[in-house]
Amino acid sequence: MHELSVAEALQQQLSAWIKEHGGRVRRVTVEVGRLCGVDAAALKSVWPVAAASGDPALSGCRLEVVSLPMRFVCPECDRQTEAEKLVWSCPYCGAEPLRRAGGRELMIKELELDDV
């Protein structure tokens, strides 16, 4: 399960941020694209272990995961399409193939902090 290594990397990034800026992280929101290969439920289940093994300022930090759909751009009409599965042709003009414009994201979107 590589979600544990993703959670540990997140914990390390947050610990470095805390070291530089101070404070306590109460909640972190992470965006996870459908194509990035991370299972949101598994990531949430291993997060408490990763958070507890790091900086004490992460103790009790909640993880929220926002799942992002795949996004495609048509090379002909330049319109964007969101989809839950891979699509090949544009639903507006029928052009093929579409360019992938999103779905591989794995990034911190938001932090909720307490000052110490």
Return the domain boundaries, the chain: 3-114
CATH fit for domain 3-114, picks 3.30.360.10, 1.10.10.10, 3.40.50.300, 3.30.2320.80: 3.30.2320.80
pLDDT score of 114? 87
pLDDT score of 66? 96
Q: Where are the alpha helices (DSSP H) in the chain?
A: 3-21, 40-52
94 touches 79 (CB < 8 A): no
pLDDT score of 100? 93
Confidence of residue 69 (pLDDT cuts 50, 70, 90): very high
Contacts of 43 (CB under 8 A, 6+ apart): 3, 6, 7, 30, 32, 63, 65
Interval 97-110: pLDDT, tens: 999 999 999 999 99
pLDDT score of 85? 85
pTM of the model: 0.85
The tokens for 21 are 């800026």
- Count Cβ neighbours within 10 Å for each residue of 17-43 and write b for 16 or more, e otherwise: bbeeeeebbeebebbbbbeeebebeeb
- Average pLDDT of 56-73? 94
| Count of other CB atoms within 10 angstroms of residue 58 | 21
